[in-house]
Amino acid sequence: MEAVVDEREVVAIVDRHNAQCGGLIATLEEVQTVYGYLPERALRVVANITDHSLVDVYGVATFYRSFSLRPRGRNHVCACLGTACHVRGAPMVVEELERRLGIRAGETSADGEYTLETVNCLGACALGPIVVVNGTYHSKVEAASVKKLLKKTQPEAARLASEPKVAVSSL
């Protein structure tokens, strides 16, 4: 699901950041919030109208884990696998996430609902294992609490479809 890139929109983002400080990372961050990822076309536009070459822009975009060059799912699940989280059982949490979502770490589900990613540290080691769901940090996650976490992100349609079923069976 490649996003359709409106060149004027990207130009506007670059202009806004150039006026402030000319930061490439800030520009790319905003492009990513608009499109959910960094489309190739947008990177080319950014390189074109800033003083940076495409090589530099691409280098920055691939260097940081928070940038994605592939379209991400509507829900972004990010599990920490840093040392502290690792010893507190993060691998089990990731395994459970993979099992429930039916995708491997780094993949996006076929219906475009979920993207599962792992990172090496989120800087909240005392609270590990950490799982970030759509920007919300969840601390001390266990494999058993994964189900609850994912329930909050369930798409509206799926929730509506599943709720009547429960109602029927309870009757």
**Contact track, other proteins, 62-101, x by CB under 8 A:** xx--------------------------------------
Nearer to other proteins, 92 or 121 (CB): 121
| 157 touching other proteins, by CB under 8 A | no
| The 3-state secondary structure of 108-171, one letter per residue | ECCCCCEEEEEECCCCCHHHCCCEEECCEEECCCCHHHHHHHHHHHCCHHHHHHHHHHHHHHHC
Q: Which window, 19-27, 54-62, 103-111, 160-168, contacts other proteins (CB under 8 A)? A: 54-62
Cβ-based neighbour number of residue 146 at 10 Å: 24
101 neighbors 116 (Cβ within 8 angstroms): yes
How far apart, in whole angstroms, are the C-alpha atoms of residue 23 and residue 18? 7
Nearer to other proteins, 52 or 74 (CB): 52
As measured in angstroms, the least distance from the Cβ of 144 to other proteins is: 33
Nearer to other proteins, 52 or 86 (CB): 52
Residues making contact with other proteins (CB under 8 A): 40, 43, 53-59, 62-63
